[in-house]
Amino acid sequence: MDFQPLVSIISVNYKQAAITAQLLDSLKNISYKNVEIIIVDNGSGESLKKYLKELYPEVKVIVSYTNLGFAGGNNLAIKEATGKYCMFLNNDTEVDAGFLHPLVSVFEQNAAIGIASPKIIYFNTRGLIQYAGSDGINKYTGRGSKIGHLQKDEGQFDEIRETALAHGAAMLVPMAVIKEVGMLPELFFLYYEEHDWCEMIKRAGYKVFYVGKSTIFHKESVSVGRESTLKTYYITRNRLLFIRRNTKGFKFFASILFFILFSIPANTLKFLVKLKLDHLASFYKALFWNFTHFNVSSVQKL
């Protein structure tokens, strides 16, 4: 593809200046040259702007003095972006030099696509796949599943195809779609916001695509450890929030029934047996939030 429309590459930093610098180092080597890079310092208080300006003077740094969450931080950058496309990258990713061309090319050839993600490989794992598309979120349980997860990448997922959900670690979205549909839903703060955004984009008539000819590398741990009460709270809260915003009728009542009959007893027992009373408190705090917040249909318009 000879024509290169401007792409705004956006990443949010929270107390990980060195990790963010590694992403920027990898972006220096990309073959797609018509880009602007916007980094949001999301309430980290680590003088990121000064640090990055000395090393990467071409990068635009936006400082938020409060942590706006994943959605809020990215939305701050969207308001400053001037590209035809916005490329959202987690700051703990590194990219293949040719990752951007295939993504942009897919959009340039098909105006029906509203959001797309590349193949995502776990960093330093000799090719273990994190994401090669998605089967979507189960409307009853609120749980999702990724295609190809933990398989060794041997080119078996190099195709380009429609998929259920993009992956928040790497998403390309046309600015025109963002203006039509709205920005990332800030109500979630952390977890599930990109899934909800995909549903918003699909309801507007666009498709979600997986582009296997594009690859990025994600430093997220392969293990499912790294538990925290914050994660317990937001995963629980936002699973229910996602269901409330994206299901209706019988499916909605079935999913709530599943939560009451299975999720609540199972998680209560799990945290009690493991004596994780702080996680149990976070779990019930998340449930309480959903029972006390009734208007959850907000949209952040650009």
Are 75 and 183 within 8 A, CB to CB?
Answer: yes
Choose one of 178, 194, 218: the last residue of a domain.
218
Domain presence at residue 301: no
Assess whether 92 and 137 both reside in one domain.
yes
**Tens place of pLDDT per residue across the chain (302 aa):** 577 999 999 999 998 999 999 999 999 999 999 999 999 999 988 788 888 988 999 999 999 999 999 999 999 999 999 999 999 999 999 999 999 999 999 999 999 999 999 999 999 998 999 999 999 988 777 788 899 999 999 999 999 999 999 999 999 999 999 999 999 999 999 999 999 999 999 999 999 999 999 999 999 855 434 678 999 999 999 999 999 999 989 889 998 899 899 999 999 999 999 999 999 999 999 999 999 999 999 999 99
CATH number at residue 28: 3.90.550.10
Which residue from 222, 180, 220, 227 is spatially nearest to 200, judged by alpha carbons? 180
Give the burial class of 142: count Cβ atoms within 10 A of its Cβ; 0-12 exposed, 13-18 middle, 19 or more buried.
buried
Same domain, 22 and 116: yes
Rounded to whole angstroms, the Cα distance separating 47 from 52 reads 9
Specify if 299 maps to a domain: no
- How far does Cα 149 stand from its chain's mean position? 16
* E strand intervals along the chain: 7-13, 35-42, 60-64, 85-89, 93-95, 113-122, 129-131, 134-137, 144-146, 160-162, 170-174, 207-218
Q: Clarify whether residues 184 and 283 are in a common domain.
A: no
User: Is 297 contained in some domain?
Assistant: no
Residue 144's pLDDT is what?
A: 82
| 223 is a domain residue | no
For residue 272, what are the domain limits?
A: 229-292
Asked whether residue 47 falls in the same domain as residue 110, the answer is yes
User: Amino acid identity of 40?
Assistant: V
Q: Which residue has the tokens 């740094």?
A: 61
Bridge partners (DSSP) listed for residue 220: none
**10 — phi, psi (to 5°)?**
-120, 135
Residue 1 lies inside a defined structural domain of this protein: no
287 domain residue, yes or no: yes
| 141 closest CA partner among 241, 282, 256, 238 | 256
What's the CA gap between 195 and 122, in Å, rounded? 20
Q: By the 8 A CB rule, do 170 and 117 touch?
A: yes
Q: Which of these three, 218, 240, 263, is where a domain ends? A: 218
Say yes or no: 27 and 162 in one domain: yes
Distance separating alpha carbons of residues 16 and 240, to the nearest angstrom: 30
Q: Are residues 235 and 89 in the same domain?
A: no
Q: 298: left (phi > 0), else alpha (psi -120 to 50), else beta?
A: beta
Q: Is 253 exposed, middle or buried (0-12, 13-18, 19+ CB in 10 A)?
A: exposed
- Rg, C-alpha atoms of the chain: 19
Q: What span, in angstroms and rounded, lies between the C-alpha atoms of 246 and 259?
A: 16
* Domain identity same for 179 and 279: no
* Alpha helices, H only, 143-211: 175-181, 193-203
DSSP state of 263: I
Is the same domain home to 133 and 177? yes
pLDDT of 46 reads 78
How much is the pLDDT for 221? 59
pTM across the whole model: 0.94
Domain end call among 177, 197, 218: 218
Look-up: residue for tokens 């994206």?
246
In a domain, 69, yes or no: yes
Q: Does residue 302 fall inside a structural domain?
A: no
Q: pLDDT value at position 220?
A: 82
Q: How far is CA 154 from the centre of its chain?
A: 25
Query: What total number of domains does the chain contain?
Result: 2
Q: Indicate whether 190 and 42 sit together in one domain.
A: yes
Same domain, 70 and 29: yes
Same domain for 75 and 147, yes or no, is yes
Is 245 found in the same domain as 100?
A: no
